[in-house]
Structure 1
Amino acid sequence: MYYAIFGYDVPNSLPLRLKVREQHLARVQELANEGRVLVGGPHPAIDSEDPGENGFTGSLIIAEFPSLADAQQWVSEDPYTTSGVFSHVEVKPFKIVIP
């Protein structure tokens, strides 16, 4: 089943994000290489593809896991979680309807 992972950034998270970004992306890329990622990316803090110093307010990943517990375990070990980029994370089951 797919799960939507909503990560919510702490204020002024950009320096923390940049510090562990490569490690975070490597973990997500592992899921993508296994064909398990539907979509993923950050939420810019302003209405711009490149928010610059404004940074981001969080991230969304929709990926396939065997169970909710597995999705929660995966996110608990992610560098954005362990380094303090995220203030909190929500993981919810996701059902594809469209397309």
Structure 2
Amino acid sequence: MWYAIISEDVRDSLPLRKKARAGHLARLDHLKNEGRLLAAGPHPAIDSEEPGEAGFSGSLVIAEFPSLADAEAWAGSDPYLEAGVYATMTVKPFKLVSP
């Protein structure tokens, strides 16, 4: 089943993101290579694809896992979470309707 992992950043998270980015992206690449990643990306803090120093306000990952517990376990070991980037993280089932 698909699961949405919705994360909200702490204030001024950009320096923390930069330090943990390589590990975060490596995990996403692993899901992608297994064919289990539907979408992933950050939420810019301003209305721009390249927010620069404004940084990001959070992230969204939609990926396939065997169960909610597996999705929560994967999300719980995200390098961004471990680095203090995320203030909150929610994992919930996602039903793909379109496309």
> TM-score over 0.5 for the alignment?
yes
| Matched residues, number | 99
> Which residue is 1:92 aligned to?
92
Distance 1:3 1:15 in 2: 28
Cα drift, residue 66 of structure 1: 0.4
Taking the TM superposition and a 5 Å limit, the aligned residue runs for 1:18-57 are: 18-57=18-57
Show the 5 A alignment for 1:3-82: 3-82=3-82
Whole-Å Cα distance in 2 between the matches of residues 78 and 97 of structure 1? 27
Aligned-residue CA RMSD (Å): 0.4
What whole-Å deviation, never above 9, does each CA across 1:42-86 have from its counterpart, x for those lacking one?
A: 000000010000000000000000000000000111101111100
Could you list the structure 1 runs, at least 4 aligned residues long, displaced by more than 3 angstroms after superposition: none
Q: Aligned with 1:84: secondary structure?
A: coil
TM-score (norm 1): 0.99
Give the whole-Å Cα distance in 1 for the aligned partners of 2:7 and 2:31.
Answer: 17
Task: Determine the C-alpha separation between the residues in 2 that align with 1:96 and 1:24.
Answer: 24
Q: CA deviation at 1:38?
A: 0.4
Question: What's the TM-score, normalizing by structure 2?
Answer: 0.99
Could you tell me the percent identity over the aligned residues? Answer: 64
- What is the CA distance between 1:41 and its match in structure 2? 0.2
Aligned to 1:35, the other structure's residue is in SS state coil
Partner amino acid, structure 2, of 1:32:
K
